[in-house]
Structure 1
Amino acid sequence: MLRAGGITAAALFVPGCMREPLQQVSSVADKAPPPPVAPRPAPVPAQPAPAPRIAGVSQPLLDRALAALDAKGNQLRQRDRIAIVDFTPASYRSRLALIDIANGRIDKLLVAHGIGSDPGHTAFLQQFSNENGSEATCEGAFIASNYYVGQHGRSQRLIGLDPTNSNAMDRAIVIHGAWYANKDMLSRHGKLGRSQGCFAVGETELARVFDHLGEGALLYAAKG
């Protein structure tokens, strides 16, 4: 009887022991799978800052001048201002732009070009030249250098930074005031006179140019 009872008890016990693991497996299988992890969005590449625009200045010429400012920056003392001369219009137009880069303020003045750039005195610059003795205007990036007093009074030397104006110092290409670049030339002759290649401005405007450039700013001259 005991043996039979033991067998019976064992038979009753075993199914109970096996039921618990089956319940555990069943409960795990009934769980919902975890939601898939959403992929991280690809980083959006930074967009380049739009090129600044300044009213009254040719955009292609402004872009070239700012590129020169970046390229020649280690040679400049002043990077918050530049001067751009657009020799595309005639000399009766205000072609010299004094630009404050920080706030976009611009001041435009008359400026003469060289005799060798306009032999027929048409008022339009016909050609640039870097050659000694050409009496022509040269193009490219310049550093506004030191001041001195010469045959045209107070003047400012220019250092040419490009192959197109590398002889500027040897040729004494400078900024100076001149009677033939005064505004009254327009009412009398309809155009300015011509320099020997220098950037000649009106005698009463010279101080404004000097105050803007100081020593070490960029002047960029070309056709827009």
Structure 2
Amino acid sequence: MAAHSNATALLFTLPFSLLPLTTHADTFMSRMNGSSPPISGPLEHRLAQLAPHANPHVLQLAAKALSCAAPGAQRLAVIDFSLPSTEERLWVFDLQQQTLLFEELVSHGSGSGDANAEIFSNTPESYQSSIGLFRTMNSYYGRNGYSLRLEGLEPNINDLAYERAIVIHGADYVSDDFIQQTGRLGRSQGCPAVREEITYPLIDSLKDEQYVFAYYPDQEWLETSAFLACSSPAGHLAQR
């Protein structure tokens, strides 16, 4: 009983920056009581075990793209835009620690659809989301508060993301309350916006050359993406 009290006291006295970046308190307490054994097997298998609610096929594609672009990457975010905005469809993985850091709601652009995103583009002023593999850049403070710049790595698919100011940021229209009032999340101008409450830790977990994989079953992209067609994890396609 005393040990449990000490652990609880430690939870509330540690600075926020020292707490694990996770949205689940039970996960934090389980780490206090002992670490889980390492997950073995290929990356897609490890991702599927860490995020059992995610579509295994989407995780398989994300693992393939990352293995082609940067096999030594530390963090990976996966967005499944085939799911409606009312469902958690963003997962952030710590690949070195083999942990799921976040499982979150995420918005899509107003030009991509209503509750469901159906149209994607690389076009400025379209207010549409983009799919494909991105590399994260620096964090900064802009008109949407704390934000994270994204570099699109796929020509004609998302490589204008930086010019379009497609960034990860927090928004008050990404919440369960907004869903209850409108039946969907609010929509952005193309950015993957997240809940305001987790903006800082989520961005800090992904900034500075980590990776984001955004999926939608677009047949042309699936058939032509160099990252999805990569036959070996050479890691050369994403080099500057």
Query: Which of 63, 86, 92 is matched with 2:86 structurally?
Result: 92
Does residue 117 (structure 1) correspond to residue 109 (structure 2)? The answer is no
Give runs of ≥4 in structure 1 deviating > 4 Å. none
Does residue 177 (structure 1) correspond to residue 170 (structure 2)? The answer is yes
**In the TM superposition, what is the alpha-carbon distance from 1:102 to its structure 2 partner?**
4.1
Q: Deviations over 1:186-207 (max 9, x none)?
A: 2222210100000111111212
Q: Distance in 2 between matches of 1:89 and 1:60?
A: 13
% identical equivalent positions: 36
Alignment correspondent of 1:162: 154
**In the TM superposition, what is the alpha-carbon distance from 1:146 to its structure 2 partner?**
0.5
Asked whether the equivalents of residues 146 and 200 of structure 2 are also in contact (C-alpha less than 8 Å), the reply is: no
Query: Any idea what SS the aligned residue of 1:204 has?
Result: helix
Query: Any idea what SS the aligned residue of 1:115 has?
Result: coil
What pairs with 1:70-85 in structure 2 (closer than 5 Å)?
70-73=67-70, 79-85=73-79
Asked whether the equivalents of residues 54 and 89 of structure 2 are also in contact (C-alpha less than 8 Å), the reply is: no
Query: Which of 183, 199, 203 is matched with 1:206 structurally?
Result: 199
Q: Structure 2: which 5+ residue stretches go unaligned?
A: 1-40, 218-240
Q: Deviations over 1:157-209 (max 9, x none)?
A: 00000121011011000001111112321222221010000011111121231
* TM-score, L = length of structure 1: 0.71
Q: Distance in 2 between matches of 1:81 and 1:172?
A: 22
Say how many residue pairs are matched: 170
**In the TM superposition, what is the alpha-carbon distance from 1:99 to its structure 2 partner?**
1.5
Query: Any idea what SS the aligned residue of 1:66 has?
Result: helix
For the pair shown, the structure with the greater C-alpha radius of gyration is 1
Letter in 2 for 1:172: A
* TM-score, L = length of structure 2: 0.66
Q: Cα RMSD between the aligned structures? A: 1.7
